[in-house]
Chains A and B, each alone.
Chain A
Amino acid sequence: EAGVTQFPSHSVIEKGQTVTLRCDPISGHDNLYWYRRVMGKEIKFLLHFVKESKQDESGMPNNRFLAERTGGTYSTLKVQPAELEDSGVYFCASSQAWTRSVTGELFFGEGSRLTVL
């Protein structure tokens, strides 16, 4: 069974450009999470989807970030326009049910490293 996959693994863009990160969760997992780790800081929650609905987007930094999960399968996270402080590693995670998220049964992808120059 395939795990959580993220694409691209690394993206280098200029300030002001747009980048779209993609996450494919484990098949059948309704819950999908985005987290971000800025260099030297802790991993922070961005948002949580249940199927195609945003359950919690309290961690989204600002309106330059747009997350979607059309059809409740894969998710994209778009940053437009990118700023220097957006550099970091963006992690996606999925779980089968919310109760399993609470007990830590989250499966993480390898992360997408974003570098904004």
Chain B
Amino acid sequence: AQSVTQLGSHVSVSEGALVLLRCNYSSSVPPYLFWYVQYPNQGLQLLLKYTSAATLVKGINGFEAEFKKSETSFHLTKPSAHMSDAAEYFCAVTYTGKLIFGQGTTLQVKP
């Protein structure tokens, strides 16, 4: 069975600081992994995805994530946070098209 765990339901960083949102997965087969973002009053938007090509994946708005099979992790990072990055972030896994989501992490960016 597949599952996703996001460490920390709330993360707060200062503007300009490093963003690190953690995601660990469990899957019996090679997974496809995703990060989605939900800005206030908007739908979920795909931020980036890992589909067994390069292990370091670059997404929109300067975000990137690294697939580490040995650690079963897919952490999301951004070198320098911007106020507009404040949102809720979801890690998800699938190999069937049915997404399994983590609990979500709300990112707060302080001025």
Contacts and interface: CB of A to CB of B under 8 A. Distances in A.
**A associates with B:** yes
Interface of A: 3-4, 31, 33, 35, 41-45, 48, 56, 59, 91, 93, 95, 98, 101-111
B43 A102 contact: no
Listed from nearest, the 8 A-B pairs whose CB atoms lie closest are A101-B97, A108-B44, A108-B43, A43-B101, A104-B49, A110-B43, A104-B34, A102-B97
Nearest to A98: B97
Contacts of B41: 110
Interface of B: 4, 32, 34, 36, 41-46, 49, 51, 90, 92, 94-104
Contacts, number: 61
Contacts of B45: 108
A102 B94 contact: yes
Contacts of B34: 104
Contacts of B101: 35, 42-44
Nearest to A95: B97
Contacts of B36: 108
Contacts of B103: 41-42
A45 B98 CA distance: 7
A47 B42 CA distance: 22
